[in-house]
A and B are shown apart, each in its own frame.
Chain A
Amino acid sequence: MAEALIEEWNGQDVTLGEVERELARLRDASSGEGMNPHQRTSVMTHVAWVPQEWLDAAERTLEGLAERHPSRTVILVPCAEDRQARIDAEVSVRCFAIGDRAVCGEVIELRLCGSRADAPASVVLPLVISDLPVFLRWRGEPPFGESQWEQLIDVADRVIVDSSEWSDLRYDALARAFERTAVSDIAWARTRPWRVELAAYWPAIREQEVWIRGPRAEAALLRGWLGARLERAIRHIEPAGELGVRLGGEDLRPPREEAFSPSELLNTELDHFGRDRIYEEALLAVAVEAGV
Chain B
Amino acid sequence: MIAVEPNPLLEGLQIRRRPEPCVLVIFGASGDLTSRKLMPALYALAFRRLLPDNFAIVGAARSPESDDEFRERMKKAVQEHARDEFQHDVWDELAAGMRYVTLDIADEAGEDNLTKVLREVDHDRGTQRNRVYYFAVPPSAIEILLREIAERRTDEGWVRLIIEKPFGTDLQSARKLNELISESFTEEEIFRIDHYLGKETVQNMLALRFSNGIFEPIWNRQFIDHVQITVAESIGIEGRAGFYEHAGAMRDIFQNHLLQLVAISAMEPPIDFTADSVRNEKVKVLKSLHTPGPKSVVRGQYGRGFIEGEEVSGYREEDGVAPDSLTETYVAAKLYVDNWRWADTPFYVRVGKRLPRRETTIAIQFKRAPHPPFEESAAEWLRPNVLLIHVQPNEGMSLAIGAKVPGQGMAIRTVHMDFLYGSAFREGLPEAYERLILDAMLGDATLFTRADEVEEQWALVDAIRAAWPREKIAFPNYAAGSWGPPSADELLHRDGRSWRRH
Contact = CB atoms under 8 A, between A and B. Distances in A.
Chains A and B are bound partners: yes
Contact of B425 (A1, A68, A199): A68
A67 B7 CA distance: 35
Interface in B409-433: 418, 420, 422-427
A155 interface: no
Among the interface residues B8, B9, B422, which one has the most CB atoms of the partner chain A within 10 A?
B9
A199 B424 CA distance: 36
Nearest to B425: A68
Contacts of B418: 39
B424 A205 contact: no
A259 B258 CA distance: 43
Contacts of A199: 7, 9-10, 13, 15
Interface string A40-52: 0101000000000
A263 to B, nearest CB: 12
A139 to B, nearest CB: 24
A196 interface: yes
A67 B429 CA distance: 11
A256 B423 CA distance: 33
Contacts of B7: 199, 202-203
B427 A196 contact: no
Contact of A195 (B13, B424, B425): B13
Among the interface residues B424, B425, B426, which one has the most CB atoms of the partner chain A within 10 A?
B426
Contacts of B425: 67-68, 70
A167 B349 CA distance: 65
Contacts of A68: 425, 427
A186 B2 CA distance: 39
B240 interface: no
A70 B12 contact: no
Contact of A39 (B8, B9, B15, B423): B423
Interface stretch (A98-106, A169-177, A245-253): A98-106
A189 to B, nearest CB: 12
Nearest to A69: B425
A207 interface: no
Interface in A147-189: none
A146 B88 CA distance: 51
Contacts of B424: 39, 41, 43, 70, 103
A230 interface: yes
Given A203-B5, A203-B7, A257-B49, A278 B423 contact: no
Contact of B53 (A70, A256, A278): A256
B394 interface: yes
B9 A229 contact: yes
A103 B7 CA distance: 45
A277 interface: yes
B310 interface: no
Nearest to B7: A202
Contacts of B426: 1, 66-67, 70, 96, 98, 103
Interface string A92-136: 000010110111000000000000000000000000000000000
Given A101-B420, A103-B423, A278 B5 contact: no
Contact of A229 (B5, B11, B49, B427): B11
Interface in B422-451: 422-427
Nearest to A201: B9
A73 to B, nearest CB: 15
A203 B9 CA distance: 10
A258 interface: yes
A43 B394 CA distance: 20
Contacts of B9: 195, 198-199, 202, 205, 226, 229-230
Nearest to B11: A278
A66 B420 CA distance: 15
Given A202-B7, A229-B9, A41 B53 contact: no
Contacts of B10: 199, 202
B167 to A, nearest CB: 35
Contact of B15 (A196, A205, A256): A196
A198 B10 CA distance: 9
Contacts of A66: 426
A32 B49 CA distance: 41
A98 B427 CA distance: 12
Interface in A24-40: 39
Among the interface residues A43, A202, A256, which one has the most CB atoms of the partner chain B within 10 A?
A202
A158 B425 CA distance: 21
A192 interface: yes
A256 B49 contact: yes
Contacts of A20: none
Interface in A186-226: 192, 195-196, 198-199, 202-203, 205, 226
A196 B12 CA distance: 10
Nearest to B417: A39
Nearest to B10: A199
A185 to B, nearest CB: 14
B390 to A, nearest CB: 12
A258 B47 CA distance: 11
Contacts of A101: 420, 423
Contact of A192 (B13, B53, B427): B13
A256 B427 CA distance: 24
Contacts of A102: 423
Interface in B382-423: 394, 418, 420, 422-423
A171 B107 CA distance: 70
Nearest to B5: A203
B423 A98 contact: yes
Interface in A64-98: 66-68, 70, 96, 98
Nearest to B8: A229
B406 to A, nearest CB: 14
A238 interface: no
A226 B11 CA distance: 12
A41 B423 contact: yes
Nearest to A278: B12
B182 to A, nearest CB: 37
A200 to B, nearest CB: 9
18 contacts: A1-B426, A39-B420, A70-B426, A98-B422, A98-B426, A99-B394, A103-B422, A103-B423, A195-B9, A199-B7, A199-B10, A202-B10, A203-B5, A203-B7, A226-B9, A256-B53, A278-B12, A279-B12
Given A70-B424, A226-B9, A256-B49, 17 more contacts: A41-B424, A43-B424, A67-B425, A67-B427, A70-B425, A96-B426, A99-B394, A101-B423, A103-B423, A192-B13, A195-B9, A196-B13, A202-B7, A205-B9, A230-B8, A258-B49, A278-B13
